[in-house]
Amino acid sequence: MKGVIFTYLADMVEEHFGLDAWDAILQHAGLDGLYVSSESYDDDQLFRLVQAAHEATGIPSNDLIRTFGKYSFAKFQQSHPDFCKPQYTLKEFLLSVDKVIHVEVKKLHPDAMLPSFEYEDEADNELTMIYSSQRKLCMLAEGLITGAAQFYKTEYVLKHDKCMHNGDKHCKLHLTMV
């Protein structure tokens, strides 16, 4: 996993809970916290940090991951405003994730293991995103969608009927924009 994920996580914990909380989470997870954005790190480190954060805060891990996704979208948008065009709709942005954003990320980081998305474009106000990833971070995807929806000032309803955590081959994230 790319170090940028870890630097975003450190930023979020420090902003919401303080530097001491981040240090305590690192200590509990048995990690040094020295992350370089462009380097790759073992996925297990992220899961250990999330578990340590859950134990420190009592917040369920899935909620922490969703919150982190929402936070990460804001950081991504600030760092890469060209991908988050204000003239897009939420749906247009989401449709660009796999075919534009992930393509560009792969150019910069050929070793990046990105999730894949397929889309079912049912209606103007609906979109189903079919998420597949060995990491099974569908809750992160949910949080990123929430962050994008806030940026595009769009209310939506999300149904997550199929999930890899329940033994499904992929996750189905069905959005209805309201």
Separation of alpha carbons 169 and 151, rounded Å: 30
Q: Is residue 155 included in any domain, yes or no?
A: yes
pLDDT above 90 for 111:
no
Does 47 share its domain with 89?
no
For a pLDDT cut of 70, what percent of the chain falls above it? 100
Q: Is residue 9 included in any domain, yes or no?
A: yes
Q: Is residue 172 included in any domain, yes or no?
A: yes
Cα-to-chain-centroid distance, residue 4: 12
Element counts in the chain: helices (H) and strands (E): 7, 4
Is 102 in contact with 133 (CB distance < 8 Å)?
A: no
Confidence label for 108 from pLDDT (cuts 50, 70 and 90): confident
Q: Is residue 29 included in any domain, yes or no?
A: yes
Q: Is residue 114 included in any domain, yes or no?
A: yes
Does 87 share its domain with 48?
no
Token look-up 């988050």 returns 84
Helical segments of 58-137, H only: 61-79, 90-96, 102-108
Is 53 in contact with 28 (CB distance < 8 Å)?
A: no
Q: Which of 56, 71, 119 is nearest to 93 (CA)?
A: 119
Does 86 share its domain with 40?
no
Residue 32 token pair? 């040094």
Does 41 share its domain with 85?
no
CA within 13 Å, CB half, 142: 20
In tens, the pLDDT along 126-175 reads 999 999 999 999 999 999 999 999 999 999 999 999 999 999 999 999 99
Q: Is residue 43 included in any domain, yes or no?
A: yes
Does 48 share its domain with 125?
no
CATH, residue 113:
3.90.1520.10
Separation of alpha carbons 70 and 94, rounded Å: 14
Which pLDDT belongs to residue 124?
Answer: 94
Residue 66 token pair? 């969703």
What is the pTM (predicted TM-score) of this model?
Answer: 0.94
Q: Is residue 16 included in any domain, yes or no?
A: yes
pLDDT above 90 for 52:
yes
Does 48 share its domain with 100?
no
Identity of residue 2: K
Q: Is residue 158 included in any domain, yes or no?
A: yes
Give me the mean pLDDT over the 89-102 stretch. Answer: 94
Structural domain harbouring 107: 81-177
